[in-house]
Amino acid sequence: SSPPALALAAVLLLLGLVSLLILTGGVGLVHDPLFCVFVAFSFVSAVDLLIALEEDGLISGFVELYVREGDPHLRTAHGLLTCYWDGTVHYGLCLAMAAAGAWWKSYRGLGLFWLGSLLMSAVVFLLGNLIGKYSAELSPSFLLNLPYLLLLTWAGLRLFQQPRALPNLSPEQEQRKPLHQRPRDLLLILILILTAAFTFFRGMVVLDCPADSCFDYTYLHEPYLRDPVGYPKVATSGDSPGVPQMLIYLFYLLPFLLLAIYGLAWPGCSWLPDWSLLFAGAVAQAQFAHLGSSLHSRTPFPYQTPEEVLGTFLLSNVLYALGPQLLALRCLRSPAFFVPPASPGLARAKKYQ
């Protein structure tokens, strides 16, 4: 019943499950070492779903001791929404990637989306645990996050090293079109500019910008940004989990959005398809947790979204999450534009083949 015993039991159970799959041949999937990673993370996802269901009163008697003694921060609104996302979306992605591996199909795109989502979840959540309200209540089970992060880093490197599944492309025709002849790209660039502007604005809000518009937005539209009951204390504006999330948006998502605008305007940016999937997963997870936490009953009432601005709050945040998803879809549907242009000598050689 002690936290060290809980941590040891979880590790032994996980190792036993992986060993069993390896010894039995893992239904032919052990040719891919990432299969064992998917098994490990699907186990964690299943546990997180149990935690969320039990904390919301839908089931009982499964993980109460672990949450009470090991991870009390999971009782917060942000913790519950993170568990729901992990237990549904991450679990489904793990199953889909395992199935693709069973049929020797490429799952690189799914894997990069999954990686971005997990990284965003882990960074915001672990920062909250370390420097937030519950930092004094950390138990030895928190050390399980170290192998979790190491395994995630290794899996990410393996995913980036996988070959891209690109068909035979003829990029010359598409890359010759100027921007004004690509109305969809123009519209997407406009969406990304608005997304970048909103990212910068909310970053200023959590950095205590003295402007009246920032003050009004915090108190009238998104009071959750000043919730003192959440995780970290990484800025003077408060302890809300929204603070590090908005700062991660400001310092990481905003530069990517500006680079993505460049990548849509000028052809040959071969890095954009991969990184668009990574950031699409990160923003999807972050916005789900942010939206849900703002509305969840476990968030203190003064910091919940006011009913009179609920419509605009939902619309703005859903549209905010939509921009990176549209960018990733654009890269997947028309990858020829992002193929690096061939050198003149190679182009002439292909012409006379």
Q: Is residue 108 part of a domain?
A: yes
What's the structural domain count of the chain? 2
pLDDT at 288 (0 to 100): 95
Residue 353 lies in a domain: no
Q: Are residues 157 and 259 located together in one domain of the fold?
A: no
CA dihedral 224, 227, 233, 237 (to 10 degrees): 70
3-state secondary structure of 340: coil
pLDDT at residue 266 in the model? 92
| Domain span including residue 85 | 3-161
Q: Is residue 351 part of a domain?
A: no
Question: Are residues 266 and 334 both part of a single domain?
Answer: yes
Asked whether 78 and 128 are in contact (CB, 8 A), the reply is: yes
Angle at 281 between CA 278 and CA 287, to 5 degrees: 135
- Same domain flag for 330 and 194: yes
Q: Residue 65: its pLDDT value, please?
A: 66
Statement to judge: residues 120 and 216 lie in one domain = no
**Length of the chain, in residues:** 353
Domain C-terminal end among 108, 128, 161: 161
**Per-residue model confidence (pLDDT) at position 255:** 97
Contacts of 124 (CB under 8 A, 6+ apart): 78, 231, 241, 244, 245, 248, 286, 289
Single pTM value for the model = 0.86
Pair 132, 185 in one domain: no
End residue of a domain, out of 161, 196, 218: 161
Nearest to 320 by CA among 237, 200, 223: 200
pLDDT of residue 126: 78
- On whether residue 306 sits in a domain, the answer given is yes
The pLDDT assigned to 23 comes to 46
Same domain, 212 and 243: yes
Q: Look at residue 11 in the predicted model and tell me its pLDDT.
A: 58
Residue 348 lies in a domain: no
Neighbouring CB atoms inside 10 A of 31's CB total 10
Do 303 and 223 belong to one domain? Answer: yes
Among 133, 161, 189, the domain boundary falls at 161
Amino acid 237: pLDDT: 33
137 and 251: one domain? no
- Residue 268 maps to a domain: yes
Cα–Cα distance, 50 to 67 (Å, whole number): 11
Which pLDDT does position 124 carry in this prediction?
84
Assigned domain for 345 exists: no
Distance CA 221, CA 118 (A): 28
The residues of the chain scoring below 50 in pLDDT are 1, 23-25, 27, 29, 229-239, 344-347, 349-353
pLDDT of residue 236: 30
Does residue 267 lie within any of the structural domains? yes
Residues 6+ apart with CB under 8 A from 153: none
Q: Tell me if residue 286 falls in helix, strand or coil.
A: helix
Residues 102 and 151 in one domain: yes
Residue 99 confidence (pLDDT): 83
Q: What is the C-alpha radius of gyration for the chain, rounded to an integer number of angstroms?
A: 22
Whole-number pLDDT of residue 230: 44
pLDDT value for 263: 95
Same domain, 205 and 95: no
Q: Are residues 155 and 259 in the same domain?
A: no
Amino acid at 258: L
Same domain, 103 and 197: no
